[in-house]
Structures are given as structure tokens and as C-alpha cells.
A = this chain, B = another copy of it.
Amino acid sequence: MPEAPRPPATNVRGTKMSQENDEYFVPAVFREVVGFHLRIAQEASFEAFGVMAGKANLKPGWYALLTILNEAGSMTPSELSRHCGRDRSTLTSTLKALAARGLIQRERKSEDQRSYEVRLTAIGCDIQRRLHAIAIDHERHLDEILGQDKAMLLAILRRIASRV
């Protein structure tokens, strides 16, 4: 099924290639492969967001957590981990860092002494807002790239995520 060998490309992703239409390098075998293009597009998008956040000295990895908290008001770490789709244990160190920097506050639950509610502090709200502004900016950029196709892209991606 792999295509015939090709003259060795001397190119890198991001470099214009004379034989291709794409502006980034794609090994011939992967040209029509959905998973490949999904990965490249996802990496490009995430990196662009990360660069913008980095310029503002903000951790891109905080964005999802802070935003979910901002939306929910408060939540336990276990609830948060379910909202992120990641294991509880992966949140501990991040929550610790967020607390140490005063972005979140923890409050023991009276009904269940094992657990506690996490909520944003004023600083946390501010940082969330700044990250969100970057995300909005990034999304606007994607909107420009996507034009009329955004709704269709989202529908297709949802279909992949729920049925694959």
C-alpha cells in the first residue's frame, strides 16, 4: 500500500517544498491520512497558543483548569479531573502550584472531611481572564483561517471524537 520511494526530501515542516502544494513537509505516505493531519494541526494550534501565553509569562497548561473553575464556581479535585478527562493524581502538583501562587484557594468540605472545594481567587480570576483573552485571540485567528468552514470542522471533529 505504501507508494513508491521518492527522491529524498531535504525539507522540514514549515519550509516551502517545490513539489508540494502544502507549505509544510508531509511524507508522501501520510498525505491522505487523517490521523497525521489531525496531529499536525493540533500541534500547530496548541503551539501557537503556547507561544502567545509564554509571551505573557503564563502557563498554557493552566488555562483549561482555571477556565473550568471559573465556569463552575468551585469544584473538588476529583470533579476537576473528571472534567479534564485525566486521572486525579495528575492534578495534584498543578493545584499545589496554583495555590502557592495564590491563583486558587481550597476550602475543606464540612460534609466530607476528606475532600475540599477549589475556587479561583481574585488573582486566579485575573490570570484566567488574561489566558482567556489569549485564547479568544487565538480563536479569532483560527476563525480567519476557517471562515465559513468552522461549524463544519467542529461537527466533523465531534463525530471523530465520539465514534472513533
User: A residues near B, CB below 8 A?
Assistant: 1-3, 5-6, 8-13, 22-25, 27-30, 32-35, 37-42, 44-46, 48-49, 64, 67-68, 70-73, 75, 79, 82-83, 85, 132, 135-136, 138-139, 141-142, 145-146, 149-150, 152-154, 156-164
Report how many copies the assembly holds.
2
Q: Is the CB of B145 within 8 A of A44?
A: no
Q: Is the CB of B8 within 8 A of A35?
A: no
* Residue from the list B30, B32, B83, B149 in contact with A152, Cβ < 8 A: B149
* Residue from the list B24, B83, B139 in contact with A27, Cβ < 8 A: B83
In angstroms, how far is the closest chain B Cβ from the Cβ of A85? 4
In angstroms, how far is the closest chain B Cβ from the Cβ of A153? 5
Q: Is the CB of A164 within 8 A of B44?
A: yes
